[in-house]
Structure 1
Amino acid sequence: MSYLEVTWTDPATHARGHLVIDRLVRGVSSGGLRMRAGCTLAEVRGLARGMTAKEALNYDPGARYVPLGGAKGGIDFDPYDPRANDVLTGYLHAMSPYIERFWTMGEDLGLRQSTIDEAIAKIGLQSSIQAVYPLLDDETKARQRLSDAFQVTVDGVGLDELVGGYGVAQAALTGIAHLGLTSPTAFVQGFGSMGGATARFLARNGVKVVGLADVHGVVANPAGLDVETLLLSRDRHGGIDRAELGAGDVQLDGDRWLDVPADVLVPAATSYAIHAGNAHRVRAKLVVEAANMPITEDAEVGALVIPDVVANSATNSWWWWTLFGDVDPTAESAFDKIGTTTRRLTGRIIGEPSPRKAAQRIAADASDEIARLFPAEQFPTRACPADLSHDRVQMMVCGRTW
């Protein structure tokens, strides 16, 4: 059972937004905010549960950063709609008491961090992660360190947009080595922050990216796509500029993304992209979950699957490693930490009969250790969540509806 579930309705558009706090550690939780048409409470609940595991998997007893609890936010609205920013601002205003005290968050599917930051400033909050500030030894230095990191660019792309995909690429390369694949090819579904960075670092490590999918369809080339050109010309939603396609590149309908032959498949867009109805079309030998929950539980995929809680965990952890001082605000320090951690975790699960169950086991053991070291009674919440309710918000706290 989740610790807290909140559902909000926008009075102007009737869009619905959800927040689920799965668990608090030291009174705080962590998890991003997504916006997509069709986002449900059940989806957000599953994502929040995954965040609890993702946080715990990166527990290091010798680090300054102690993993937080898991949470997730989701808004059922089209991010391309011209009213999207107003809906986002209304949602964040409604959730502001939780952002102030319990929930730290950043970008996820359909949203960019810069868009969230603009809305956060508009409603008068300090930051989307201000709930964690009381846990810092030196807030001023920590915030400066994170700010400095967000100013770093690597070959035209911000470091914050690269860290997640760098981790996914490291997980994929570990899987490729484990399977003994030679001259591997890859298809990446989704070309936003996660998919774009994954494609870049796979290509830079000798993996031929033969196909990409975005909201407009599929582009493919068996000889390999020019990932760098497409990456640097994409729009803010990860859309590929078709004017930049090269000779030999072909365009396909979006529903044909599983028809492009590749050794490695990286679903990096929506949840539930691979399901019982299309799993038989997966021909890859290795599937690396860059998106959150891209494969449904009833889908039978005949490939080695590296689960999202391992593959994409660097997106979240890099913020905290930087804020708490476990990495410096440089690309070199970030990539070193992400690479070492992701390869280690992937190596621990990849030879198991079920890598997903192995990851869940490791996360559960780490959660138990964190709970033992930091019992909840030592970190009481700074207000009862039920006292924070207001108009157009329905809440469930530990099973009780308010």
Structure 2
Amino acid sequence: MPATLLTDASRRLEKAAQYAPISDDATERLKFPKASLKVAIPVRMDDGSLRVFEGYRVRYDDTRGPTKGGIRFHPNVSLDEVQSLAFWMTFKCAAVNLPFGGAKGGITLNPKDLSKLELERLSRGYIDAIAPFIGPDLDIPAPDMYTNSMVMGWMMDQYSIIKGVRSHAVITGKPVSMGGSLGRDTATGIGAFFVINSMMEKLGKRPETLTVAIQGFGNAGSVVAQHLFEAGYKVIAVSDSKGGIYNKNGLSIPDVRQFKQTYQKMKDVYCKDTVCNVTNHNTITNEEILSLDVDILIPAALENQITVANAHNVRANYIFEVANGPVTADADKILEAQGVALFPDILVNAGGVMVSHFEWVQNRSGLYWKLDKVNKKLQSRIIEEATTIWQVARRKDVSFRTAAYIHALSRIGEALNDRGTRDYYTY
């Protein structure tokens, strides 16, 4: 993968810095990750052979607290991608006022090629390699693409073995039985729903009048789809990596979720057994779903899905980024010129890291919360930050993305400035 993702991500920082009252020292510091680690992970495979996998962990900035960010297993994982995601996490945590900096990690592989035993050995081997680089007060990993609570449980257990003490707070997104928080597995999707619904209310839009298309029907995409459906929005198209389905009259999202879980392919949802009789549908590709004539488009898959090559084809009025970095900086300009209102990832998908913070707090205190309390705290905090970003956008007449970065950068810049800048030392 070309080393351009971090450069592209940094362009958002430069634009926001024109509006945020921070020093040149702070802006310069945020152009570079604090620490990057690349490791080799030898794994004994089930057939007795040895494979070595490449892994990464990046701590981008810890000005506001220990770094926080997920671990992904994916064939496209690279140092550039992980640095970019760590950059976004830095601003995401600041945008929603969490006492964390940003980090990210990953291993380059297709996890579907490994058995469960091989995945466990890989997960534990990764922690063996990065254990000095992480910790409850240093860097706290979490699940990301193709990792889950079981993987996080293995990793927390391995770290605890290495340190010789039980350390629940080193990893979030764990199984509830191993110190995980209720609501963590659905937090990204639910948080995104809270943001979408609150922004539509501010715009005077009623759910029953709005159509939605969602690219990416994994954990986050399927959860936000379910909540939008229950709230009265008309979800007319969803897709996953193997294709999608479309019905202009709306899809039955509970049925889609059920059959997706059963058959693992979106294209099978309405062509297996009795569900074929639920509704008519058309198949659709991941590329086609981005150009549907809908009110709300939700990219919830991978980064760089909307670029200069296809941004002109977008016909949605509103985009809510549930994936990390699905729209490039150059595409932002095109969409803005077309009048598309884009709500950025560092706000929209921040529900996951918010509830990860709740989990970390519960681990540190030993007091665990009921699901209703978790969701109420998530709703209150993410809507509060969304409202503030809305106000910044209106007051400074900038896009919602720029407003989110201004909001985050102001918080990070204040913390950096309080450590001393050139103005302090030359006074």
Would you say same fold, with TM above 0.5? yes
Residue aligning to 1:203: 229
Residue aligning to 2:341: 304
Larger radius of gyration: 2
Residue aligning to 1:362: 407
Higher helix share: 2
CA contact (8 A) 1:99 1:129 kept: no
Structure 1 runs of 4+ aligned residues shifted over 6 Å read 143-146
CA contact (8 A) 1:210 1:220 kept: yes
In structure 2, do the counterparts of structure 1 residues 144 and 201 end up closer, same or farther at CA, with 3 Å as the change threshold?
A: closer
| 2:137 is equivalent to residue 106 of structure 1 | no
Distance 1:145 1:118 in 2: 13
CA contact (8 A) 1:146 1:319 kept: no
Uncovered stretches (5+) of structure 1, i.e. residues with no partner:
60-65, 133-142, 151-158, 377-402
CA contact (8 A) 1:99 1:131 kept: no
Deviation digits for residues 361-394 of structure 1, max 9, x if unmatched? 1112222444578x69xxxxxxxxxxxxxxxxxx
Uncovered stretches (5+) of structure 2, i.e. residues with no partner:
1-31, 43-49, 421-427
**Match for residue 81 of structure 1 among 105, 108, 113:** 113
| 2:102 is equivalent to residue 70 of structure 1 | yes
Deviation digits for residues 40-63 of structure 1, max 9, x if unmatched? 21111111111111111222xxxx
User: What is the root-mean-square deviation in Å for CA atoms of aligned residues?
Assistant: 3.1
| 2:133 is equivalent to residue 95 of structure 1 | no
Please identify, of 26-35 and 302-311, the stretch whose mean Cα deviation from structure 2 is larger: 26-35
| 2:35 is equivalent to residue 9 of structure 1 | no
Distance 1:30 1:188 in 2: 27
Q: Report the secondary structure of 1:105's partner residue.
A: strand
**Match for residue 199 of structure 2 among 153, 169, 175:** 175
Q: What are the equivalent positions in structure 2 for 1:134-213 lying under 5 Å apart?
A: 147=179, 149-150=181-182, 159-182=183-206, 183-213=209-239
| 2:253 is equivalent to residue 227 of structure 1 | yes
CA contact (8 A) 2:58 2:86 kept: yes
Q: What are the equivalent positions in structure 2 for 1:47-58 lying under 5 Å apart?
A: 47-58=85-96
Residue aligning to 1:115: 151
Distance 1:353 1:232 in 2: 41
Residue aligning to 2:79: 41
Letter in 1 for 2:131: S
TM-score, scaled relative to structure 2: 0.73
Residue aligning to 2:387: 347
Q: Provide the aligned length of Structure 1 versus Structure 2.
A: 351
How far is the alpha carbon of 1:131 from its aligned partner?
7.5
Letter in 2 for 1:221: N
TM-score, scaled relative to structure 1: 0.78
Deviation digits for residues 314-360 of structure 1, max 9, x if unmatched? 11111213442699622322222222222222223333422111111
Deviation digits for residues 163-218 of structure 1, max 9, x if unmatched? 21111112112332344445101111112221111111111111111111112111
Letter in 2 for 1:270: L
In structure 2, do the counterparts of structure 1 residues 168 and 26 end up closer, same or farther at CA, with 3 Å as the change threshold?
A: closer
Letter in 1 for 2:76: G
Distance 1:29 1:258 in 2: 33
CA contact (8 A) 1:145 1:329 kept: no
Distance 1:120 1:29 in 2: 16
Letter in 2 for 1:309: I
